[in-house]
Amino acid sequence: MMSGQWGVAARCLCLAPGPWPLAPDMKLAIVDYGAGNLTSVKKAFAHLGADIFVPGAPRDIDGADAVVVPGVGHFQATRSLTAEWRAAIRASLDRGRPLLGICVGMQWLYEGSTEAPDSEGLGVIPGRCTRLTGGTANLKVPHVGWNTLAMPRPSSLLDGVPAEASVYFTHSYAGPVNAATAASTEYGERFAAAVEENLVMGLQFHPEKSGATGLRILDNFLRRVAALAAPAV
């Protein structure tokens, strides 16, 4: 049972927030393209001590040590991520800076979605997102609620997350399970709950609404960013 935005477990979470000793000046860019959960994601990262900013233009990403693309709602909203934004985000990856997509932001990492066939994804994760069917049990779609994670392989993003930890979902579309999948779950059918491939990471669930487990995952992301941003010794 959750209590408040973070829940009882989150209020008891023993994670030391930043500043990050390896890279105390690291900056996190959270992209606002008008798709929903920007404020709650910002609050979660701020709770962990991250130095965050919302870039006003694609060129502003140049100053970030990592990029986060959140989002809820319809995949069509990602059309606001124009060619200039795509180029800036890809350039950030090319410079060795991590990218995290959350919910629709994770779906955007794929090649596209049947929800908006004329809107292309970033294409850094193979496959296309499709609508949940509800399976043979005819489960209600959208899928809203808590599900357990199955983690088939080690992942820096999910380091320290207990087996079968529960996280909070609210969505109607999801990405396929493939080699990039770091965690999956089942709701009438199995789909990708988290992806990690080199510097590209994504979460279909909402870490900012998933209590201690969600904060642990965001903390893992920040620790990886800090390690990459740390000056060479």
User: What is the set of active-site residues?
Assistant: 103, 206, 208
Rounded to whole angstroms, the Cα distance separating 157 from 28 reads 16
Rounded to whole angstroms, the Cα distance separating 181 from 125 reads 9
Closest listed residue to residue 61, CA positions, set 33, 99, 92: 92
Provide φ and ψ at 165, rounded to 5°.
-65, 150
CA distances from 104 to 100, 113, 229 (A): 11, 10, 27
DSSP assignment string, 114-142: TTSTTSB---SS-SEEEE---TTTT--SS
Tell me the one-letter amino acid at 40. Answer: S
